[in-house]
Chains A and B, each alone.
Chain A
Amino acid sequence: MPLLENGHIVDDAWVTVAGDDPIPATGAVIVPFARLEEGLARAGDAPLGVAIGPDVDVALLRPALPRLGLVAVTFTSFRDGRAFTQARALREHLSFTGEIRATGTPLPDQYEFMLRCGITTVQTERPEAVSVWQQAHEIISVAYQPSILHERVQGLGFRRFVS
């Protein structure tokens, strides 16, 4: 699926470095967590991103975050919800303001959850049409708890409108 932002297809300005492939000298690149130091050592100030697995404690990114424009979190399976907590911790505890990208195989039905945890873009290996993701984004307009999006409270409790 192409890169999705707020329910719309957008151009992807980033190049993902897979495995042991060489890191390009210029341009916006996403490096694996294991090669973060190598990425940070790159000359110049081209944008740098890092891809983390679900078992990475995001607090480890703290020293590097000022240099990072993107953190890619991974849904190794749609059942594994750790990326939600990672994204939320990046926003709430580490005040990260760059792009948080969901990768792997999350379900379109998880899209609203992702957005409310601070994930901004989605690039999945799944086959669904973009329209399914757009619909998942729009179908539920009410939420019942605070989120990092700080939606305006609507009347009772913590209830607010989303989408």
Chain B
Amino acid sequence: MSTDTATLPVGRYAYDQVDRTFLSQRVAQFREQVNRRIAGDLSEDEFKPLRLMNGLYLQLHAYMLRVAVPYGMMGSDQMRALAHIARTYDRDYGHFTTRQNVQFNWIRLEDTPDILEHLARVNMHAIQTSGNCIRNVTCDEFAGAAADELLDPRIHAEILRQWSTLHPEFSFLPRKFKIAISGSPHDRVAARFHDIGLVARPGPQGRPVFDVFVGGGLGRTPIIGVQLRDNLPEEDLLAYLEAIVRVYNAYGRRDNMYKARIKILVQALGVEQFREKVDAEFALMNRADYRLDPAIVDGIRARFGIPDLAAPADAAQKLAADRRADPAFDRWVRTNTHPHRNDGFICAVVSVKPDGGIPGDVTADQMDLIADLADGWSFGEIRVTHMQNVVLGHVRKDRLRDLWHKLVAAGLGTPNIGLVGDIIACPGLDYCALANARSIPIAQKLSARFADPELQERIGRLNINISGCINACGHHHAGHIGILGVDKRGEEFFQLTLGGSAGNDVAIGQIIGPALPEDETVDAIARLIDTYLVLRQGDEQFIDTYRRLGAASFKDAVYAPA
């Protein structure tokens, strides 16, 4: 077996020959399945679960291929492969998703085996990016870099990725199953809006322990997950997750796809009875078979490349001087960076949401440029965020201004991270067969309306989330301002929810009143924000003012005559 440890990719697991063998077999298997479909040996009904297990959806106008980016981490070589696919098989662009994946919206069925083969060359795939199985495990976008992190969750994210890959028992669950993992006390993964959310921290003997949340989710029935277990020892992580998913597989509803997620089972049984079932399964298991031995964890950890964080002693002073010299750069540093654990470094967030743009869309040329910038500034490492942006995790402070110049020149330097322009939107009726309304135009209009960076910064932290239907792919329930597209007698209307949050202060947004016509929605939100600016006290953010005053104070603004 080849070990090829010469150059390990920074921040993610390095495939070896066995992993590559697996991927090439998987591509061959899908090629054979596509051939059976094209020959008519498989009906569309039978082919559907097979293509979904390989990330291939049938959308409104074409097939969509969703490529897995495990825990949001990829290398510059992988980003270049995505650029190649965008150019060769799609319309010159791709789209970053809220599950930290990348999707292509204009794919032909007969091309997909070749696309998967191209991806396999850079150790990428589309396995389990859809279907009723365990989906891509998501992770903190500042993992392994953030100053506030207690431990790097990516090692365990990789262990869960491997464990869940073609899991023999859990590939035909009642419904999809999403796991997120964080190693920071500041929840940036929406742990309590996942089927399973894991929050890791150091425990006894330096080994991690996990708080396990279960039964959270958005969709048609938004529910905040409950804590099923605290201080789960690392060695029991897989056994305990097996127990949870077994209980779900056995008892989750299969008669109604809208009531099939684990959150519905947890609500129906009640958390105590659900926990009893999980504990009973856990007690019966031969735990030695599932024991996550420290040696196994350390073996996986050894396959991760570590960045050599060497910076000049005056890197921080150089950045401070650069900021004083250039107010526009200073603004971008305020909004688009995150503190790094090493004082000579900083995490830079590349906004993929230009003023008036489509959230998450990236052209092939931009992908190539991001790859080049990652090579030049961040050890070739790229992170896709659940906010549909990109993070370069380890940028030397004295070189940050050079990076910013390159980003600005490419239209990737918009200073709007966490602000009103940093909108999450689902693909909506422009692409999706399920949608009732177009999400993208609302996002574009809002983004253009609030383009002024000074205004955005004055408004402060404000998450706007837009979903084109009640399936809530734009996570509108979790937005400070949520926008839900609904159909009223063939017309597109938008319903506003206020007060949602996906972080430590997790909350589900509340509907403020009747849905608004498309052409009144943006004005209503502008009045809402104006009202907040008048009502805010001190350094309150929108969510603080809303929580202090409640919805009533904003209702008049939303429904005032135009």
Mark A residues whose CB is within 8 Å of B.
57, 78-82, 84-86, 88-89, 92-93, 107, 109-110, 112-117, 128, 132, 135, 139-147, 150, 154-159
Complex formed: what's the CA distance from A62 to B36 in Å?
Answer: 41
Q: Contact flags (1/0) for B153-178 with A, using CB distance below 8 Å?
A: 00000010011111111111100000
Which residue in chain B gives the minimum CB-CB distance to A80? B254
Contact A145:B163 (CB < 8 A) given known A78-B49, A109-B50, A157-B296: yes
Given contacts A92-B286, A109-B33, contact A159 B172 (CB under 8 A): no
Q: Is A85's CB under 8 angstroms from B289's CB?
A: no
Nearest B residue to A150 via CB reads B289
**Distance of A77 from chain B, by nearest CB (Å):** 9
B contact face: mostly helix, strand, loop, or mixed? helix
Q: What 0/1 readout, one digit per residue, does chain B (169-213) give for beta carbons within 8 Å of chain A? A: 111110000000000000000000000000000000000000000
Closest CB-CB distance, B33 to chain A, in whole Å?
A: 7
Residues of B within 8 A of A (CB): 1, 16, 18-19, 21-22, 25-26, 28-29, 32-33, 36, 41, 46, 49-50, 132, 159, 162-173, 238, 246, 249-250, 254, 284-286, 289-290, 296, 299-300, 303
**Contact, CB under 8 Å: B162 / A159:** yes
Residues from chain B with a CB closer than 8 A to the CB of A150 are 289
Number of A-B contacts (CB under 8 A): 119
Please give, as numbers and ranges, the residues of chain B lying within 8 Å of A117 by CB-CB distance: 168-169
Contacts of A144 in B (CB 8 A): 22, 162-163, 165-166
A82 to B164: give the CA distance in the assembly, Å: 17
A87 — nearest CB in chain B belongs to which residue? B169
Seed contacts A81-B249, A82-B250, A92-B284; 17 additional CB < 8 Å A-B pairs:
A82-B249, A84-B170, A85-B249, A89-B246, A114-B168, A116-B168, A135-B32, A139-B32, A140-B25, A142-B21, A144-B165, A145-B163, A155-B1, A156-B296, A156-B303, A157-B162, A158-B163
Quick one: given A113-B169, A135-B32, are A154 and B49 in contact (CB under 8 Å)? no
Do B26 and A140 touch across chains, with their CB atoms under 8 A apart? yes
A157 pairs with B299, CB closer than 8 A? yes
Smallest CB–CB gap between A127 and chain B, Å? 9
Complex Cα distance, B46 from A128, in Å, reads 12
What residues of B have a CB within 8 angstroms of the CB of A142 in the complex? 18-19, 21-22, 25
Q: Is the CB of B170 within 8 A of A81?
A: yes
Q: Contact between A107 and B163 (Cβ–Cβ < 8 Å)?
A: no
Are B33 and A79 closer than 8 Å at their CB atoms?
A: no
Contact flag A156-B16 (CB < 8 Å), given A81-B249, A142-B21, A146-B289: yes
A-B contact list, 19 entries, CB within 8 Å: A78-B49, A78-B172, A79-B254, A82-B249, A84-B249, A85-B250, A86-B250, A107-B49, A107-B50, A112-B166, A112-B168, A113-B166, A113-B168, A139-B28, A142-B18, A142-B21, A144-B162, A156-B299, A157-B296
Chain A residues whose CB sits within 8 angstroms of the CB of B132 once the complex forms = 79, 81
CA distance A124 to B168 in the complex (A): 19
A81 and B25 within 8 A (CB): no
Residues of A within 8 A of B162 (CB): 144-145, 157-159
Q: How far is the CA of A147 from the CA of B171 in the complex (A)?
A: 14
Residues of A within 8 A of B164 (CB): 145
Most buried by B among A78, A82, A159: A82
Cα(A109)–Cα(B172), bound, Å: 12
Question: Hey, which chain B residues are within 8 Å of A88, CB to CB?
Answer: 169, 246
Please give the distance in Å from B307's CB to the nearest CB on chain A.
22
**A106 to nearest B CB, angstroms?**
9
Complex-state Cα separation, A90 to B132, whole angstroms: 23
Establish whether residues B1 and A154, one from each chain, have CB atoms under 8 Å apart when the complex forms. Answer: yes
With A82-B249, A155-B16: A141-B173 Cβ-Cβ less than 8 Å: no
A157 vs B33: C-alpha distance when bound (angstroms): 29
Please state if B18 and A154 are interface contacts (CB–CB under 8 Å): yes
Q: How far does the Cβ of A15 sit from chain B's closest Cβ, in whole Å?
A: 30
With both chains docked as a complex, state the minimum distance between the C-beta of B168 and any C-beta of chain A, in angstroms: 4
Measured between beta carbons, the chain B residues less than 8 angstroms from A154 are 1, 18
